[in-house]
Structure formats: C-alpha cells, structure tokens
C-alpha cells in the first residue's frame, strides 16, 4: 500500500457514522492511497518508478527491465537464458520488496527456471495450466497465447440492434497487446457510421449497418481459435 502524508490526507477525507444515533459522525482521513481514486493507477506507477530509480547504479539492467516491462502491478519480460532470467527476476523481487511491494506468482515457460525459483523461495512450486495475462490466456507448457473472450461472449447473449448496445460492446474490449486490432477497428468504424447518420441511442439500426453488426458478433467466438506463439525469437 502507498502511504499518504498527513498534509495531503485532507484531500481524502470521509464521514464515519457510528451506530449510536445521538452521536455526530466523525470526519476521518485516509492514511493509505485508496484504489478507487481516478489518479490511483498513475500514482502507483509513479511511486514504483521513483522507487526503482534508486537502484540504477547497482542493478541497471534490472531497473531498465522493470521500467519497460511493468504494466500497472504486473510484470512481463523475457530473457535469452535461464541464468539471465533468474538474475533479473531475483533482482525484481528484491527491489520491489524493499519498497514493500510483493512481486509473487512467478511463472515461466522454462521448468528449469521455475525449479530455481522454488529452491530460492521465489516460486510456489505449482505449475499453472493456463495463466491470464492482459486479457489473454497463456499456456506456459506450449508457450502460446490465446484470447480470453468469455466476458465479451456473455455480453452478447442478449443481442440488441441499437447504437447504445454497440457502444457498450465496444467499450468492453480491452486487449492492449493488439492481437485483434484489425477486428476491433471494424466495430469502431461501425460506430463512426452510426454517428454520421444521426441514429438515436435506442433506434434500431438500418439494414446495412445491422448486417455489419451481426456479422461482427458472429465472428467473435471464432477468435478463441486463434493461437499465437508468445515468443517470436529465441530465448525465454
């Protein structure tokens, strides 16, 4: 957790109501950064980056890896050998631990590396079948990525033919890796056409747009058949 200085705590006050009806509510302040603030993700990232910067002189390679491979509170990186991957991961755990950030649930496509983690108290010893990574499913044994689409498919079980529902569906798509960028562009282009024609929120789409919308929805389940090698080059 990220602490908040007393001088800044006045900006994160809240009312605390007691069960006693005759007593007034108390004005209290947060001592730690709540996750629900709009600025929380940025503050978390800024604090972590400032913390790891302290280690540039001693562990430059590990610091550069952390700066490039951290995504919010998740770390994704590769290496050319088991020894290099172990050194980087050990440093990452140590650096973050010194700031009271707990880097855990380490996973690799290398059984040798996972064994080293367990022997050095960094791993849990359980090899997961599938690991969820940025809305993707990663199979460490096969070292391939596939799409996690259950949420999107469930959303489309009650399929509606209007602008509101098209926009709701588009807003649910979050795949920062970009494997289905060309597929996502189609629904964005469809939304653009809907806006250009001045169609109201709950008005049924005209036939030509309706066909595009339904065709896009029909193809979603087929995306789960896409399997992509995680590693494009040699190494881990």
Contact, 92 vs 65, CB < 8 A? yes
Mean pLDDT of the chain: 90
pLDDT confidence bin for 155, thresholds 50/70/90 = confident
Mean pLDDT lowest among 29-43, 93-107, 124-138, 211-225 = 124-138
At 57-110, the pLDDT tens digits run 999 999 999 999 998 778 999 999 999 999 999 999 999 999 999 998 899 999
Whole-number pLDDT of residue 153: 84
Whole-number pLDDT of residue 19: 77
Spans of all domains in the chain: 1-34, 39-128, 148-231
pLDDT confidence bin for 230, thresholds 50/70/90 = confident
Say yes or no to pLDDT of 17 above 70: yes
């Amino acid at each position: 957790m990220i602490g908040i200085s007393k001088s800044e705590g006045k900006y994160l006050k809240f009312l605390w109501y007691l069960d006693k009806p005759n007593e007034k509510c108390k004005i209290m302040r947060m001592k730690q950064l709540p996750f629900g603030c709009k600025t929380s993700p940025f503050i978390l990232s800024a604090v972590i980056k400032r913390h790891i910067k302290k280690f540039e002189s001693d562990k430059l390679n590990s610091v550069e890896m952390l700066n490039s491979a951290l995504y919010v509170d998740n770390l994704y990186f590769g290496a050319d050998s088991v020894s290099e991957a172990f050194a980087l991961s050990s440093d990452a755990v140590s650096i973050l631990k010194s700031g009271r950030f707990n880097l855990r649930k380490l996973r690799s496509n290398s059984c040798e590396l996972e064994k080293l983690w367990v022997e050095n108290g960094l791993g849990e010893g359980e090899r997961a079948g599938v690991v969820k990574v940025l809305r993707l499913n990663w199979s460490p044994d096969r070292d391939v990525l596939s799409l996690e689409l259950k949420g999107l498919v469930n959303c489309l079980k009650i399929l509606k033919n209007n602008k509101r529902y098209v926009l709701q569906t588009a807003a649910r798509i979050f795949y920062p890796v970009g494997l289905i960028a060309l597929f996502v562009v189609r629904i964005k282009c469809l939304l653009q056409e809907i806006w250009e024609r001045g169609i109201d929120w709950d008005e049924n789409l005209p036939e030509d747009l309706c066909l595009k919308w339904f065709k896009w929805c029909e193809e979603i389940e087929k995306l789960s058949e896409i399997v992509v090698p995680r590693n494009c080059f040699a190494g881990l």
